Amino acid sequence: MYRVALVCLGNICRSPIADVVVNAELRAAGLADRVEVTSCGTGTWHIGEPMDTRAASVLTGAGYDATRHRAQHFGADWHDHDLILVMDRANLADVLAVLPADRHDRVRMFRSYDPEVATTDPDDVPDLPDPFYGGPEGFDDVLAIVERTAHRLVQELALVR
């Protein structure tokens, strides 16, 4: 089983949205039995809590099931994942600080799979904006980015053996 971790700050907005969408894409592509995707946060504030109600609302409105999520914390025990996708540069720094150096090559920015990102330089891949302190439109924007990125990510994961 190929294992993917999706990481944001609190594991209540961006990474759970990505988790739900990527898993839906994996099921649609017939890959759910080959790829396991989970999400977590670098902070510990929300462990065990459901996702933010605004995140759940935008997912439900788009036809996804947002009921199963419970926030988890990213720690050294996550080092065995094959691919670790972070939502922003702060998450990147936090993850790299915890992982052994020989695992750093497994870490990438989530939006490196975004078909609208026109760079091949990992240092120039944009963050997935954090909608936590904004209004509902920020969650709509995040979902749109996540959906197109998840589609491309799953196409790439289909090539993994």
pLDDT value at residue 160: 84
- Residues designated as active site: 8, 14, 130
pLDDT value at residue 161: 66
For the record, the structure tokens of 2 come out as 């190929």
pLDDT value at residue 134: 92
> What whole-number distance in Å separates Cα of residue 123 and Cα of residue 15?
20
- Cβ neighbours, 10 Å, residue 118: 7
pLDDT value at residue 77: 81
CA distances from 83 to 4, 22, 57, 67, 131 (A): 5, 13, 28, 25, 24
- Encode the chain (161 residues) as per-residue pLDDT tens digits: 999 999 999 999 999 999 999 999 999 999 999 999 999 999 999 999 999 999 999 999 999 999 999 999 998 788 899 999 999 999 999 999 999 999 999 999 999 999 999 887 888 999 999 999 999 899 999 999 999 999 999 999 999 86
Spell out the domains of the chain, with CATH numbers in brackets: 2-157 (3.40.50.2300)
Secondary structure of residue 135 in the 3-state scheme: coil
